[in-house]
């Protein structure tokens, strides 16, 4: 389900880091020895043999991150991102695995298109990448894709992300048939008759700025529908990029009633509100839009209490000239792979809003579990998927700093804390600075 | 010898270019700014009563008007305002320009910026267009309307009209009637009236009163009867060109007119009626109201000229110095 280019497995000793894996219950200053890409020993004063030594005194070593929601723009818009550039960006952000969405040109709705992506990933992906395939052909919302064949060809899940599955009847059929594949259905929840032409969250800010509103209920109505269908069919599903208080409430209630539903939230929805749109900066325009302060609070609460188990960047690269237009003319989407941890650490962990352990879990084991992927973990015998973080390192986010081909980040020009110093993905040193 | 000359010439050099100032949103200005602009406009109104109406104030300055949307009042008044102040002017319309060849706003702005204009006046159908132009040119930017966002010079001319006709703004009660949702005029005017201490009531069909609009400092009601208490009834254009197909904001224009049209029966004598134009007679405003002596619509057009002169003057000078002194202007 995950693909990367083959590379030599490393022999490394990471010396003296604070090793923190909240799932494994590890939190101590330790050496970590990696033999041939596998964690071989945890302890103090470990023998380095002829291993490469990374002196990590004062740094934090944690399970590397998993991003369940990335747009790699390939095929079709390789000027915006490629598998090579997107996975390099992921490595720089501390990720060992990412999942790519199928709303490309053409849409990933056939084994042939998927096969070409898998081949490319095997040749050039710096970290593991999985590909979701479409639920409906061409994302047209009327005909199911050949999910069985797509799963056999390596699809990591199914989604029409970018657009909702409008028909409730078809959604039901997708849940029924999709269950045969053992892969998760991931849903973009939007009632488009309510969100049509919407540029930002409907509320006091949109009223003042004059933008057509995209109300919270456009999302939560569809969330409620899909949860009801999942409950009825007794099938699991995953809710993409939740933004509204009502959606969090609905997911919490459904999970409480035993529905196998998971949800994700983006760094920008956790850090910003619709007040940010007053800048008219096209880099705070995305779908779903930034919502009110109470929505943001509900998302944070949902993240903390485990209603929302995954943080997803929804990394959406756009060409410079397409974002260098008036807000209203700009496409939806912002990048996030390279800044997610720093943004969340700076805005949520440092001020004491979210514990560091929670953030680490929701960026790694949480998203892996939602899609049935192996959870990165720090224990002897596990593949080395590790991120080395300097929590005191501050830096200014600039357009030049990105490995992504696109620079449409909402953090441009801002100073953030917490730097990724190294990423070890599947036993390979994928990034170091 | 030459050194002496240079020293003597120092004070003859043009003063350093003032820091860039823009007029994009009423949100960006203070009550003092508004008072200063209104006072300047009044000074210009006096000057226009003279036989020779042209002032040398902005001689040698370049004002470029860029209009991406149709406009009669705003574009003509900006152009005349610049000419009355002796500035050089250029007017670009999207039809017949490179815009038709698909040139982006950014590139058009950079192209015009290469002529080193002092002011670019821009109207554009998209919110945020003037902000983009500030990022790619060195000119002072005046927003002549950006999408549904702002139309700050319209608000200024409306304040000017109200103050001239009613003698005050503080405590004035203004009812704004109609399609608030799609109206940049309404947004600028609500903010400007709130800033100057007036009381605003919005009246219209539920779907055309944006959710959350009260936070701007006004009341909102669907009851047309609420206009009776106002000193001024400000009628918004029913923006048919912005009505999306099948959006069903109101069932029909006929139903709109029956319930929210400003008719002689709904206004009382002495109540002033304003409209930003262009009017849809028989839709949002009854022709008998539009043509009545209490209607200030033509006054608004005249106010548009002097307030836009004031805006251009204000942006290109360092501020209130000498503005309230009529003679100072003449020698400027």
pLDDT above 80: residue B12: no
Distance from CA of B95 to the nearest CA of A (A): 19
**Nearest one of B322, B316, B325, B314 to B29, comparing CA atoms:** B314
Per-residue confidence (pLDDT) for residue B102, from 0 to 100: 79
Q: Where are the beta strands (DSSP E) in A312-414?
A: 386-396
pLDDT above 50: residue B327: no
What values do phi and psi take at A57, rounded to 5?
-55, 125
Per-residue tokens: A286: 């995305």
Quick check: is B50 catalytic? no
DSSP string, B166-229: HS--TT-EEEEES--TT-HHHHHHHHHHHHTT-EEEEE--GGGS-TTGGGGT-EEES-GGGGGG
Per-residue confidence (pLDDT) for residue B326, from 0 to 100: 33
Is residue A403 helix, strand or coil? coil
> Are the beta carbons of A202 and B127 separated by less than 8 Å?
no
For chain A, positions 318-337, list CB contacts with chain B under 8 A: 321, 324-329
User: Could you tell me the pLDDT band of residue B98, with boundaries at 50, 70 and 90?
Assistant: confident
Mean pLDDT is lowest, of A205-219, B218-232, B235-249, for B235-249
Q: Which of A217, A280, A294, A331 is best to mutate for the B interface (most B CBs within 10 A)?
A: A280
CA gap B83, A394 in Å, rounded:
53
> Are the beta carbons of A326 and B213 separated by less than 8 Å?
no
**Nearest one of B28, B50, B70, B49 to B315, comparing CA atoms:** B28
Per-residue confidence (pLDDT) for residue B20, from 0 to 100: 81
Question: Which CATH number fits the domain B152-299, given the four candidates 3.90.1150.10, 3.40.50.300, 3.40.640.10, 3.40.50.1370?
Answer: 3.40.50.1370
> Are the beta carbons of B149 and A202 separated by less than 8 Å?
no
pLDDT above 60: residue B8: no
Is residue A400 helix, strand or coil? helix
> Are the beta carbons of A207 and B147 separated by less than 8 Å?
no
In what helix (H) or strand (E) does residue A313 lie, and over which residues does it extend? none
> Are the beta carbons of B131 and A205 separated by less than 8 Å?
no
Q: Which residue of A has its CA nearest to B130?
A: A326
pLDDT above 70: residue B16: no
Higher pLDDT, A166 or B15: A166
User: Could you tell me the pLDDT band of residue B329, with boundaries at 50, 70 and 90?
Assistant: very low
Look at the alpha carbons of B160, B161, B165, B166 in this order and tell me if their dihedral is positive or negative. Answer: negative
Check A161, A295, A314, A390 and give the catalytic one: A314
Per-residue confidence (pLDDT) for residue A10, from 0 to 100: 87
**Nearest one of A52, A60, A64, A47 to A16, comparing CA atoms:** A60
Average pLDDT over residues B186-202: 98
Q: Which residue of B has its CA nearest to A278?
A: B128
Q: Where are the beta strands (DSSP E) in A71-220?
A: 95-100, 128-133, 155-159, 184-187, 200-201, 213-214
Per-residue confidence (pLDDT) for residue B180, from 0 to 100: 96
CA Rg value for chain A: 21
> Are the beta carbons of A199 and B127 separated by less than 8 Å?
yes
What angle is formed at CA A358 by the lines to CA A355 and CA A362, rounded to 5 degrees? 145
User: Could you tell me the pLDDT band of residue B245, with boundaries at 50, 70 and 90?
Assistant: low
Where are the CATH 3.40.50.1370 domain residues in chain B? 20-41+52-147, 152-299
Choose among A202, A206, A326: nearest Cβ to B129. A326
Q: Which residue of A has its CA nearest to B217?
A: A208
Per-residue tokens: B122: 């821009």
What values do phi and psi take at A350, rounded to 5?
-55, -45
Residues 6+ apart with CB under 8 A from B251: none
Quick check: is B106 catalytic? no
- Read off the pTM: 0.92
Q: Does B22 touch chain A (CB under 8 A)?
A: no
Q: Is the distance from CB of B161 to CB of B274 less than 8 angstroms?
A: yes
Average pLDDT over residues B198-216: 97
Is residue B67 helix, strand or coil? strand
Q: Which of A197, A202, A329, A331 is best to mutate for the B interface (most B CBs within 10 A)?
A: A329
Q: Where are the beta strands (DSSP E) in A160-260?
A: 184-187, 200-201, 213-214, 237-239
Helix segments in chain B, DSSP class H: 2-10, 31-48, 73-84, 105-113, 129-136, 152-166, 184-195, 253-260, 287-290, 297-316, 326-331
Strand-pairing partners, residue A39, are A34
DSSP A429: E
Which residue do the tokens 């980040």 mark?
A: A409
pLDDT above 80: residue B318: no
CA gap A240, B146 in Å, rounded:
33
Per-residue confidence (pLDDT) for residue A363, from 0 to 100: 98
CA gap B192, B214 in Å, rounded:
14
Alpha-carbon A14 to chain mean position: 27
Per-residue confidence (pLDDT) for residue B13, from 0 to 100: 60
Per-residue confidence (pLDDT) for residue B94, from 0 to 100: 79
As a whole number of Å, the end-to-end CA separation of chain B is 32
> Are the beta carbons of B132 and A206 separated by less than 8 Å?
no
> Are the beta carbons of B128 and A213 separated by less than 8 Å?
no
CA gap B310, B37 in Å, rounded:
6
Average pLDDT over residues A66-92: 98
pLDDT above 90: residue B211: yes
Helix pair angle (B184-195, B152-166), 10° resolution:
50
Sort out which chain A residues have CB atoms less than 8 A from B210's CB and list them: 206-207, 213
Q: Is the distance from CB of B196 to CB of B32 less than 8 angstroms?
A: no
For chain B, positions 258-287, list CB contacts with chain A under 8 A: none
Q: Does B217 touch chain A (CB under 8 A)?
A: no
For chain A, positions 98-117, list CB contacts with chain B under 8 A: none
User: Could you tell me the pLDDT band of residue B71, with boundaries at 50, 70 and 90?
Assistant: confident
> Are the beta carbons of B212 and A326 separated by less than 8 Å?
no
Percentage of chain A with pLDDT > 70?
100
pLDDT above 70: residue A87: yes
Question: pLDDT digit string (tens) for A122-149?
Answer: 999 999 999 999 999 999 999 999 999 9
Q: Compute how many other C-beta atoms are within 10 angstroms of the C-beta atom of residue A196.
A: 13
Per-residue confidence (pLDDT) for residue B324, from 0 to 100: 32
Residues 6+ apart with CB under 8 A from B118: B58, B61, B62, B63, B87, B139, B140, B316
Q: Does A305 touch chain B (CB under 8 A)?
A: no
Sort out which chain B residues have CB atoms less than 8 A from A325's CB and list them: 104-106, 126, 132
Q: Does B147 touch chain A (CB under 8 A)?
A: yes
Sort out which chain B residues have CB atoms less than 8 A from A327's CB and list them: 126-128
DSSP B69: S
User: Could you tell me the pLDDT band of residue B17, with boundaries at 50, 70 and 90?
Assistant: low
**Nearest one of A168, A171, A160, A312 to A241, comparing CA atoms:** A312
**Nearest one of A46, A44, A49, A65 to A11, comparing CA atoms:** A49
Question: pLDDT digit string (tens) for A297-310?
Answer: 999 999 999 999 99
Q: Does B187 touch chain A (CB under 8 A)?
A: yes
Per-residue confidence (pLDDT) for residue A332, from 0 to 100: 98
> Are the beta carbons of B147 and A328 separated by less than 8 Å?
yes
Per-residue confidence (pLDDT) for residue B96, from 0 to 100: 74
Distance from CA of A58 to the nearest CA of B (A): 42
Average pLDDT over residues A185-191: 98
pLDDT above 90: residue B243: no
Distance from CA of A292 to the nearest CA of B (A): 12
Q: Which residue of A has its CA nearest to B218?
A: A208
Quick check: is B149 catalytic? no
Average pLDDT over residues A102-109: 98
Per-residue confidence (pLDDT) for residue B110, from 0 to 100: 96
Q: Is the distance from CB of A20 to CB of A60 less than 8 angstroms?
A: yes
Residue-averaged pLDDT of chain B: 89
Per-residue confidence (pLDDT) for residue B241, from 0 to 100: 61
Alpha-carbon dihedral angle through residues A273, A274, A278, A283, given to the nearest 10 degrees: 80
pLDDT above 90: residue A14: yes
CA gap A134, B25 in Å, rounded:
44
Q: Compute how many other C-beta atoms are within 10 angstroms of the C-beta atom of residue B100.
A: 9
Question: pLDDT digit string (tens) for A368-409?
Answer: 999 999 999 999 999 999 999 999 999 999 999 999 999 999
pLDDT above 80: residue B247: no
Fold classification of B20-41+52-147 is Rossmann fold (3.40.50)
CA gap A222, A292 in Å, rounded:
19
- Report all structural domains of chain A as residue ranges with CATH numbers, in order of start: 12-59+392-403+406-432 (2.30.40.10), 64-377 (3.20.20.140)
Q: Does B40 touch chain A (CB under 8 A)?
A: no
pLDDT above 70: residue B126: yes
């Amino acid at each position: 389900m995950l693909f990367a280019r083959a590379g030599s497995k490393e022999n490394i000793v990471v010396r003296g880091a604070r090793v923190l894996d909240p799932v494994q219950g590890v939190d101590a200053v330790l050496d970590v020895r990696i033999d041939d890409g596998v964690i071989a020993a945890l302890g103090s004063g470990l023998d380095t043999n002829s291993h490469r030594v990374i002196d990590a005194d004062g740094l934090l070593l944690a399970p590397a991150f998993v991003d369940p929601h990335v747009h790699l723009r390939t095929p079709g818009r390789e000027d915006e991102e490629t598998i090579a550039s997107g996975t390099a960006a992921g490595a720089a952000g501390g990720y060992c695995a990412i999942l790519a969405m199928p709303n490309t040109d053409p849409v990933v709705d056939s084994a042939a298109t998927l096969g070409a992506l898998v081949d490319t990933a095997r040749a050039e992906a710096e970290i593991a990448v999985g590909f979701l395939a479409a639920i409906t052909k061409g994302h047209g919302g009327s005909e199911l894709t050949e999910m069985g064949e797509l799963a056999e060809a390596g699809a990591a899940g199914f989604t029409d992300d970018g657009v909702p599955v409008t028909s409730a009847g078809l959604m039901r059929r997708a849940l029924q048939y999709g269950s045969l594949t053992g892969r998760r259905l991931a849903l973009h929840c939007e009632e488009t008759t309510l969100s049509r032409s919407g540029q930002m969250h409907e509320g006091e800010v949109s009223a003042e700025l004059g933008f057509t509103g995209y109300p919270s209920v456009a999302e939560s109505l569809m969330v409620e529908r899909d949860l009801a269908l999942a409950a009825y069919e007794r099938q699991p599903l995953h809710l993409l990029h939740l933004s509204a208080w009502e959606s969090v409430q609905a997911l919490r209630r459904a999970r409480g009633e035993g529905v196998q539903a998971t949800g994700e939230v983006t760094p920008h929805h956790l850090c910003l509100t619709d007040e940010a749109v007053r800048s008219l900066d096209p880099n705070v325009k995305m779908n779903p839009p930034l919502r009110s302060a109470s929505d943001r609070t509900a998302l944070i609460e949902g993240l903390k209490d485990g209603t929302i188990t995954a943080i997803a960047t929804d990394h959406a690269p756009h060409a410079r000239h397409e974002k260098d237009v008036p807000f209203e003319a700009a496409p939806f989407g912002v990048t996030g792979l390279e800044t997610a941890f720093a943004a969340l650490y700076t805005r949520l962990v440092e001020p004491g809003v979210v514990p560091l352990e929670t953030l680490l879990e929701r960026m790694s084991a949480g998203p892996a579990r939602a899609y049935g992927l192996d959870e990165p973990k720090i224990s002897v015998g596990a593949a080395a998927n590790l991120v080395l973080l300097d929590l005191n390192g501050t830096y200014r986010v600039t357009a030049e700093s990105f490995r992504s081909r696109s620079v449409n980040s909402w953090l441009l020009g801002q100073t953030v804390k917490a730097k990724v110093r190294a990423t070890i993905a599947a036993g390979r040193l994928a990034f170091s600075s | 010898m030459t050194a002496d000359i240079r020293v003597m010439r120092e004070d003859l050099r043009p003063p350093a270019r003032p820091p860039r100032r823009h007029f994009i949103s009423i949100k960006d200005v203070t009550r003092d700014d508004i008072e200063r602009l209104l006072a300047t406009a009044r000074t210009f109104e006096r000057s226009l009563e003279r036989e020779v109406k042209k002032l040398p104030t902005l001689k040698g300055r370049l004002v470029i008007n860029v209009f991406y949307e149709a406009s009669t009042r705003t574009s003509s008044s900006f152009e005349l305002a610049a000419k009355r102040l002796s500035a050089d002017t250029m007017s670009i319309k999207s039809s017949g320009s490179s815009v038709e060849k698909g040139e982006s706003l950014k590139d058009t702005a950079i192209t015009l910026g290469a002529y080193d204009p002092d002011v670019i006046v821009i109207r554009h159908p998209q919110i945020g267009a003037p902000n983009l132009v500030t990022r790619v040119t060195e000119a002072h930017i005046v927003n002549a309307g950006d999408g549904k966002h702002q139309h700050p010079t319209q608000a200024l001319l409306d304040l000017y009209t109200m103050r001239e006709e009613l003698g005050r703004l503080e405590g004035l009660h203004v009812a704004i009637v109609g399609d608030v949702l799609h109206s940049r005029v309404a947004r600028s005017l609500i903010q400007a009236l709130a800033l100057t201490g007036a009381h605003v009531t919005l009246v219209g069909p539920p779907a055309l009163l944006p959710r959350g609009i009260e936070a701007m400092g006004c009341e909102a009601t669907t009851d047309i009867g609420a206009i009776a208490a106002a000193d001024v009834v400000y009628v918004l254009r029913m923006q048919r060109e912005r009505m999306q197909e099948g959006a069903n904001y109101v069932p029909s224009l006929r139903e709109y007119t029956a319930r929210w049209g400003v008719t002689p029966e709904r206004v009382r004598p002495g109540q002033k009626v304003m409209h930003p134009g262009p009017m849809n007679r028989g839709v949002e405003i009854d022709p008998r109201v539009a043509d009545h002596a209490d209607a200030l619509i033509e006054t608004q057009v005249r106010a548009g000229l002097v307030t836009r002169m004031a805006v251009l003057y204000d942006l290109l000078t360092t501020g209130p110095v000498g503005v309230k002194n009529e003679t100072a202007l003449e020698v400027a």
